[in-house]
Chains A and B, each alone.
Chain A
Amino acid sequence: MAAVAHVPSTTPLERTFAVTSWHARSYRRTWRATITTAFLNPIFFLLSVGVLLGQLIDDDRAQLGGLSYVEFVAPGLLAATAMQMGANDAMWPVMAGIKWLRTYHAVLATPVRVGELVIGTMGWSGVRVLSAAAIFTAVAAIGGAIPSALAVLAPFAALLTGLALNAPITAFSASLEGGDDGWYPALNRFALIPMFLFAGTFFPVSQLPDWLEPAAWATPLWHGVELCRMLTTGDLDVLALVHVGYLLAFVVVGTILAVRLHRRALLK
């Protein structure tokens, strides 16, 4: 066995992809558990809030820029679902890899580098977000909630939104030295749920008290919602670039921090 080393050399991309396919394989066994949050819940929301509740408020279309309520809320739910998925993938699964099951340590005993581990893992979250977003967009389109063909780009906007949450929360998870998962419920309660409710998903942020509106603008979800809404309604303008830039900044800074903090947590 030991005579000659004939281990093939690998490229960073191949190693990153190997990490992504590891997650894909693990997911095969757990997909049933997440299928409701990823696919069914957003569609139920669209039905109950968008269609049924929407019928009650559709008289006042001017408030919604001439959209029916279901047309307004569909891109909101798209972005919010992406946010939730990207965030969840960055919490317990990351902590498990670092601390509880220590599977990340196994990966780093191989030629895979920390950056490849982190990006390959984020990549898998991206695959999940993108496929859920594509399905949601298709269902919403069939249900008549999507007026514009530009909506084919909306799943990519959702992907960007998901990663804008996934990257910084992955960094946050890696920073929790003691494996303290008590932070996650707090993160949900004080950041994710308020964003879901108030950052433009269900109503325009102009409805918020004036002093609160800028806070909504600062959230990544608002930019994701606005971007998705521009694409599904076809009401695209130059502000889209601001949204893309804002979300990309979260992805890039989050990823850099995530790699550094993983290095600190795993390579002691």
Chain B
Amino acid sequence: MSSAADSPLIEAHDLTKRFGDFTAVDSVDFSVRAGETFGFLGPNGAGKTSTMRMISAVSPVSGGTLRVLGRDPATHGPEIKARMGVVPQQDTLDFELTVYENILVYGNYFGLAKDVIAARANELLEFVQLSERRDSKVEPLSGGMKRRLTIARALVNEPELLLLDEPTTGLDPQARHVLWDRLYRLKQQGVTQVLTTHYMDEAEQLCDRLVVMDQAKIVAEGSPRQLIDRYVQREVVELRFAGTPSVDGQLEGLGERVEVLADRILIGTDDGDGTAHAVHERGVPVESVLVRRSTLEDVFLTLTGRTLVD
């Protein structure tokens, strides 16, 4: 596998997905290297799931080329799937079966021996902290537990590549942190991960590298740090107002970049405190002023003029 380690696990050129006349993924290019955690960050409808489904060899590409684990998903789907784990956006667990049986049945599809599956299922349940629920039904599990079970199930074939479509959407903060911790451990074990999210904090936490997707296109690519350095200033001054933000010209010359949103104004600047001071000095009628570090959210806003989560 040493030669394979140098070449990307996933490589896409001009990758396109159309549904009828509608283009869901429009000529995107990206590549994922072995061992990294790679993210697709984008709002609803950006084309993240459509891209993931093409990678997981269940959705035919409409244009461009795609290689996954060195193979073409159109012709080598089952070979690719044998070495991959998939956590889909919507859970697909079998509610008739117990937690343990869900993994057992899944292992069968990969042709694993019964005793191998049994041993791995117990290990994996331990790993995702579901051992106590081993023999309970799936339906009463919490959202976070179901998600963890889906991840455990996706790992039964010891995949080299794990695809996670919005792994924590809909979970409470604590459940999200538990999940992030497990994904981090998998990364340490060398599992390459590709995930989608519309949470910038998730992308910052987990991804070595990510692409920002919007309206079927990739609009930027890099590590979270690189993206912030490249597209936005170091800090943001957030101004909130009693009513609709209205400043007519009072912010002229402040900071490097001003974004007026429905409920607040953001000023990108390399000197947050200085800018905040200037805002007060000029007597801008603000209700509150907050200085914070720039995030991927600001990157997204700069690139698209819109916020990530609406």
Contact B106 A108 (CB under 8 A): no
In Å, the complex CA distance between A30 and B84 comes to 32
A135 interfacial by beta-carbon distance below 8 Å: no
User: 4 closest Cβ contacts across the A-B interface?
Assistant: A10-B111, A110-B109, A106-B92, A111-B78
A112 interfacial by beta-carbon distance below 8 Å: yes
Contact B82 A7 (CB under 8 A): yes
In Å, the complex CA distance between A159 and B1 comes to 49
Contact B88 A110 (CB under 8 A): no
Contact B192 A9 (CB under 8 A): no
A109 interfacial by beta-carbon distance below 8 Å: yes
Contact B90 A102 (CB under 8 A): yes
Within 8 A of B (CB), among A20-57: 21-22, 25-26, 29-30
Instruction: State the Cβ distance, A266 to closest chain B Cβ, in Å.
Output: 7
- Between A4, A10, A30, the greatest number of chain B beta carbons within 10 A of the residue's beta carbon is seen for A10
Minimum CB distance partner of A111 in chain B:
B78
Contact A105 B96 (CB under 8 A): no
A5 interfacial by beta-carbon distance below 8 Å: yes
A1-B186, A5-B160, A18-B108 are known contacts. Are A29 and B96 too (CB-CB below 8 A)? yes
Q: Is the interface of A mostly helix, strand, loop or mixed?
A: loop
Partner of A110, one of B93, B106, B160, B189: B106
> Digit string of B96-111 for contact with A (CB within 8 Å is 1, else 0)?
1100010011101111
Contact B92 A103 (CB under 8 A): yes
Total number of A residues with any Cβ neighbor in B under 8 Å: 35
Which chain A residues have a beta carbon within 8 Å of chain B's beta carbons?
1-10, 14-15, 18-19, 21-22, 25-26, 29-30, 101-103, 105-113, 266-268
10 CB < 8 A contacts A-B: A3-B1, A5-B83, A8-B112, A8-B113, A10-B109, A29-B97, A105-B58, A109-B92, A111-B111, A267-B60
A3-B1, A25-B101, A268-B19 are known contacts. Are A111 and B94 too (CB-CB below 8 A)? no
Which chain B residues have a beta carbon within 8 Å of chain A's beta carbons?
1, 19, 34-35, 53, 56, 58-60, 77-79, 81-83, 86, 88, 90, 92-97, 101, 104-106, 108-113, 153-155, 157-160, 186, 189-192
In Å, the complex CA distance between A109 and B105 comes to 13
In Å, the complex CA distance between A5 and B83 comes to 7
In Å, the complex CA distance between A30 and B93 comes to 17
Partner of A108, one of B58, B94, B190: B58
Instruction: State the Cβ distance, B103 to closest chain A Cβ, in Å.
Output: 11
A22-B108, A102-B92 are known contacts. Are A111 and B81 too (CB-CB below 8 A)? yes
In Å, the complex CA distance between A103 and B97 comes to 12
Instruction: State the Cβ distance, A6 to closest chain B Cβ, in Å.
Output: 8
Instruction: State the Cβ distance, A69 to closest chain B Cβ, in Å.
Output: 41
Minimum CB distance partner of B153 in chain A:
A106
Contact A113 B92 (CB under 8 A): no
